[in-house]
């Protein structure tokens, strides 16, 4: 059986245009509307990374990304925001209790950009679009437990002064300090939610983009930690403070394929080989380096066993798949079924043999074939013509001649040899005017003379009708022919002489 391996390689960049029914992929915040998301049980107390995509509009004072800190440098908690206090400088700022840091490069207003802050327990580092920024001193971090809930888009107790004015996507919180390479390699790609060290993950893929979403107020956490968020003060209609699109990240959705393969074949997706029926999920990388998930619904069609009984007649053959079978037995062939898969065909060959042997008893001919067969006796000397009424297993001729039987066994038929019968009625006694045979009986040598010898055929048969001697006589000297059957057993024989003038049967005896 041949085995084929199919290799599926995906290198896809899917770009979505905005349609009225497109799912939301980002969330728009509005400072003047005091839009905020309250999170459940999210806090930072050790090494961490916060990263997000933001598209901020110009605004004075903090534009908060994530915070649980009450206003005032001496209060516990943290916040990660754009702008230093009471400015529009666009710097990325991270503040904790009596400690903080900021970058030295400003964000760009009105465009999408990736921002991140990491803390490894000793050093803090701020990133913009995957590049580390210069840091203003001091760069200290002093994390302490805060009694406040964690907010996306505002600082608790600021009463709207620290609201984000713009859009956000792909907010991620990790429980360790990510390296620059880790940040750069994943910032343009959506995550799965089960990545090691991922504490909270918000994709903002809710609602209908810029549609009517008054009931869509839940922001799910894509990890198992269930730090879900609740939207407050969002219009959730139109393009102001609502779910919207498109996302700034390269979104490659789940790709599904349904395949059927023949047994013995396999499917390779990436580095995984599948050769059983089932649903499989494989993660591949696109041209952007982002992971994509391929869902494969695979059905393995088993080789179909087919029993193929065939009965043939002796001497015939059965042909299948370029093979020819003429003897009994079980034969296995591999064919392709309608689906193009292998089918195992087991052909059980039986051969019907027609018994054409005949017993000659005097002038009665009896077939050795089973009584369940059908019979038709024929006259060999008359063009093998059927003999009317001669349809049983035995036949007694009414005249001397040559006879055979056609035997039919089921769908098979065959014809016996022709058997010569000479002893029906009286056998001719030679007339000296026609033929002289002497001595008769003899020890095997007979002297034959007569006017009918020239241009004749002389044959000798035993009592069973078997030919033991044949001679075509063109001419003889003094009309004398010497017949010698000395090598034949003692017994009665029949001599026939045929030419245009005579057709005679004579009895001769060998002593």
Express each pLDDT in 375-409 by its tens digit: 999 999 899 999 998 999 999 887 888 899 999 99
Higher pLDDT among residues 239 and 450, named by residue: 239
pLDDT of residue 452: 81
- The domain containing residue 399 runs over which residues? 358-421
| 386 shares its domain with 370 | yes
272 and 172, same structural domain? no
Q: Mind listing the pLDDT tens digit for each residue in 109-159? A: 999 999 999 999 999 999 999 999 999 978 889 999 999 999 999 998 887
Q: Let me know whether 65 and 138 are in one domain.
A: yes
Same domain, 121 and 37: yes
Q: Where does 302-400 show beta strands of DSSP type E?
A: 304-313, 318-320, 323-325, 329-336, 342-352, 358-361, 364-367, 374-379, 385-386, 394-395
List the single range of 182-191, 287-296, 306-315, 338-347 with lowest mean pLDDT. 287-296
Contacts of 211 (CB under 8 A, 6+ apart): 20, 21, 237, 242, 243
Number of folded domains that form the chain: 5
On whether both 232 and 101 belong to a single domain, the answer is yes
274 and 331, same domain (yes or no): no
Tell me, yes or no, whether 443 lies in a domain: yes
> 128 and 260: one domain?
no
β-bridge partners, 407: 375, 414
| 427: confidence class by pLDDT, cuts 50, 70, 90 | low
- Specify if 504 maps to a domain: yes
Q: State what percent of residues in the chain have pLDDT above 90.
A: 59
Tell me: do 347 and 367 sit in the same domain: no
Task: Tell me: do 112 and 213 sit in the same domain.
Answer: yes
Is a pLDDT exceeding 70 seen at residue 479?
yes
What are the CA-CA distances from residue 169 to residues 51, 73, 165 (Å)?
Answer: 10, 28, 13
In terms of Cβ atoms closer than 10 Å to its own Cβ (0-12, 13-18, 19+), residue 249 is: buried
Answer with the residue of higher pLDDT: 24 or 447: 447
Closest residue by Cα to residue 322 from 313, 338, 334: 334
Whichever domain contains 42, its CATH number is 2.60.120.200
Q: Are residues 125 and 210 in the same domain?
A: yes
**Residue 509 bridge partners (DSSP):** 492
Q: Of 395, 421, 447, which residue is a domain's last?
A: 421
Residue 218 lies in a domain: yes
**What's the pLDDT band for 440 if we cut at 50, 70, 90?**
very high
Same domain, 495 and 442: yes
Are residues 68 and 209 both part of a single domain? yes
Asked whether residue 20 is domain-assigned, the answer is no
- pLDDT tens for 34-67 read 999 999 889 999 999 999 999 999 999 999 999 9
């Amino acid at each position: 059986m041949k085995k084929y391996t199919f290799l599926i390689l995906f290198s896809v960049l899917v770009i979505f245009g905005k349609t009225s029914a497109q799912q939301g992929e980002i969330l728009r915040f509005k400072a003047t509307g005091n839009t905020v998301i309250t999170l459940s049980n999210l806090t930072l107390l050790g090494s961490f990374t916060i990263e997000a995509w933001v598209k901020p509009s110009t605004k004075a004072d903090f534009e908060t990304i994530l915070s649980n800190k009450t206003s005032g440098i001496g209060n516990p908690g943290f916040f990660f925001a754009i702008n230093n206090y009471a400015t529009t400088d666009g710097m990325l700022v991270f503040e904790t209790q009596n400690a903080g840091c900021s970058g030295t490069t400003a964000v760009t207003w009105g465009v999408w950009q990736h921002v991140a802050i990491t803390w490894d327990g000793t050093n803090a580092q701020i990133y913009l679009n995957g590049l580390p920024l210069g840091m203003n001193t001091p760069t200290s971090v002093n994390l302490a437990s805060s009694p406040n809930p964690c907010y996306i888009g505002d600082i608790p107790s600021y009463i709207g002064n620290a609201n984000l004015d713009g859009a956000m996507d792909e907010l991620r919180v990790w429980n360790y300090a990510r390296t620059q390479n880790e940040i750069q390699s994943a910032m343009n790609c959506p995550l799965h939610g089960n990545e090691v060290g991922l504490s909270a993950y918000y994709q903002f893929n809710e609602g209908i983009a810029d549609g009517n979403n008054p009931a869509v107020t839940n922001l799910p956490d894509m990890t198992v930690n269930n730090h879900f968020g609740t939207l407050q003060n969002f219009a959730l209609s139109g393009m102001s403070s609502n779910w919207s699109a498109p996302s700034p990240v390269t979104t490659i959705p789940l790709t599904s394929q349904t395949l059927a393969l023949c047994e013995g074949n396999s499917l390779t997706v990436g580095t995984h080989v599948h050769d059983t029926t089932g649903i499989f999920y494989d993660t591949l990388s696109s041209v952007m380096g982002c992971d994509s998930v391929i869902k494969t619904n695979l059905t393995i069609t088993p080789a179909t066993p087919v029993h193929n009984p065939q009965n043939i007649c002796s001497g015939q053959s059965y042909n299948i798949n370029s093979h020819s079978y003429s003897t009994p037995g079980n034969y296995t062939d591999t064919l392709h079924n309608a689906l193009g898969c292998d089918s195992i065909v087991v052909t059980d060959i039986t051969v019907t043999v027609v018994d054409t042997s005949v017993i000659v008893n005097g002038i009665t001919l009896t077939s050795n074939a089973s009584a369940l067969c059908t019979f038709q006796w024929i006259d060999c000397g008359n063009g093998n013509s059927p003999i009317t009424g001669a349809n049983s297993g035995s036949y007694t001729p009414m005249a001397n001649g040559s006879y055979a039987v056609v035997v039919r066994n089921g769908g098979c038929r065959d014809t016996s040899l022709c058997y010569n019968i000479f002893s029906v009625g009286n056998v001719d006694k030679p007339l000296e005017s026609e033929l002289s045979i002497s001595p008769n009986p003899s020890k095997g040598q007979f002297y034959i003379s007569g006017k009918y010898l020239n241009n004749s055929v002389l044959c000798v048969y035993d009592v069973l009708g078997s030919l033991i001697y044949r001679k075509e006589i063109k001419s003889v000297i003094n009309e004398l022919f010497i017949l010698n059957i000395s090598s034949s057993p003692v017994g009665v024989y029949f001599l026939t002489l045929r030419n245009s003038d005579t057709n005679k049967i004579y009895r001769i005896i060998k002593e």
